[in-house]
Structure 1
Amino acid sequence: MKVKIITVGKLKEKYLKDGIAEYVKRMGRFTKVEQIELTDEKTPDNASQAENQRIMSKEAERILAKVGDREFVIALAIEGEQFPSEKFSKILSDATLKGYSDITFIIGGSLGLAPEVKKRANLLMSFGLLTLPHQLMRLVLAEQIYRAFMIQQGSPYHK
């Protein structure tokens, strides 16, 4: 199994890079992790709705170019489903049982994800109604993926 994390925007903060690197290292005993950073479009202040849609569509093209036809895709979206870590772990486990060898997570840019990316996703997932910077969300996601593997192993890490 391989986990792919596609994100829009470059990660600049060292403390976030270090935290993500730690969880990716820990996940190495369970899976290969590929991280793909895509360029984000510059969003002008007071952009019109049409301009925002154009920006999200350009980002969507970049995202979808990195997603294969046979990948189980989980897109992070505020309107997505929320569930406890145990259920998240089961979703990942079930995806592999259904024959998916690649699980891909998508974190959009500051405007979110275009409808075509959400449509491609097998699951829309939310970490709650709070708005988090997408850079911080990468760290939270990495920890939750690691936690999911630890739950599958019956590890006390989850307690």
Structure 2
Amino acid sequence: MKITLLCVGKLKEKYLKQGIDEYSKRLSRYCKLEIIEVADEKAPENMSASEEEQVKGKEGEKLSKYIKENTYVIALAIDGKQLSSEELADKISELGVRGNSHIVFIIGGSLGLSDEILKNAHQKLSFSKMTFPHQLMRMILLEQVYRGFRIINGEPYHK
């Protein structure tokens, strides 16, 4: 199985890079992992709603270039469906059984994802009603994908 994280913005914090490197290494036993970053758009303070939509639209266009036809796209969105770790593991397993061997998780920038990306995603996933920094979400998502593969393989994991 191939897992792609498609993300807006560069990772800056060293501690997040270290955590992501650790989970990337752990995941290499279970899947081929690819992390793609697209540049974020400049988003000045006090933008109007239409300016925010323009920024998200430009970021969405950049993201769209990396979404291939034979992929299952899961967009991270605050209004998405919340899943337990076991339910995410079941989803990953189910997709593999159905022949969807490439899952793309999309993490937007500080303003979120464009309507176009959200509309075209197969599923919207939320980790919480709380807002998390989009860079931290990369590590949280990788940890949950790793946990999912451990569950799928009947391996111990911290509950």
Q: TM-score w.r.t. structure 2 length?
A: 0.98
2:84 aligns with 84
Q: 2:133 aligns to what?
A: 133
Map 1:44-123 → 2, pairs under 5 A: 44-123=44-123
What secondary structure does 2:157 align onto?
helix
- For 2:48, the aligned partner's letter is S
Distance 1:48 1:72 in 2: 33
Runs (5+) with no aligned partner, structure 1:
none
Asked if 2 retains the 8 angstrom alpha-carbon contact of 1:72 and 1:103, the reply is: yes
Distance 1:154 1:101 in 2: 20
Q: Does 1:14 align with 2:30?
A: no
Instruction: Report the Cα offset of residue 126 of structure 1.
Output: 0.2
- Say what the alpha-carbon RMSD is for the aligned residues: 0.8
Q: How many residues align?
A: 159
Provide Cα deviations, 1:45-87, integer angstroms capped at 9, x if missing partner: 1111111111111000011110001100110000000011000
- Structure 1 length as normaliser, TM-score? 0.98
Deviations 1:3-58 (A, max 9, x none): 00011011011110000110110010111100001100010111111111111110
Instruction: Indicate conservation of the 8 Å contact 1:151/1:158, yes or no.
Output: no
Q: Conserved in 2, the CA contact under 8 Å of 1:150 and 1:158?
A: no
Give the Cα separation in 1 of the matches to 2:59 and 2:158. 35
Alignment of 1:136-155 (within 5 A): 136-155=136-155
